[in-house]
Amino acid sequence: MKNENERIEALLALILVHSFKDEPMVEAASALSVASFTNVEIADLLQTSPQTVTQLLYEKRKKGKSRRQPQKRNRSQGGQ
């Protein structure tokens, strides 16, 4: 049964990768990461190295953090 589940998982991953064919690789890598694939698994699916996947995900996270607005201080935290 486990072999069947692994095959289904692989097919679903390929469908996901295919759906991102016109998008940058980072978007597919990010989606697979959210789906709990490891960097090694993602690299295999995207035909690249795990180091490339690590760098892509790092840059995406870093870019996402810089776009976030700083949180406003609560009145109970010493605000007005």
**Band of the pLDDT at 13, cuts 50, 70, 90?**
confident
Among residues 64, 58, 31, 59, the alpha carbon closest in space to that of 45 is found at: 31
Mean pLDDT value across residues 14-18: 88
Q: Is the pLDDT of residue 19 over 70?
A: yes
pLDDT in tens, 23-78: 999 999 999 999 899 999 999 999 999 999 999 999 999 988 776 655 556 666 55
| Cα gap 41→45, rounded to integer Å | 6
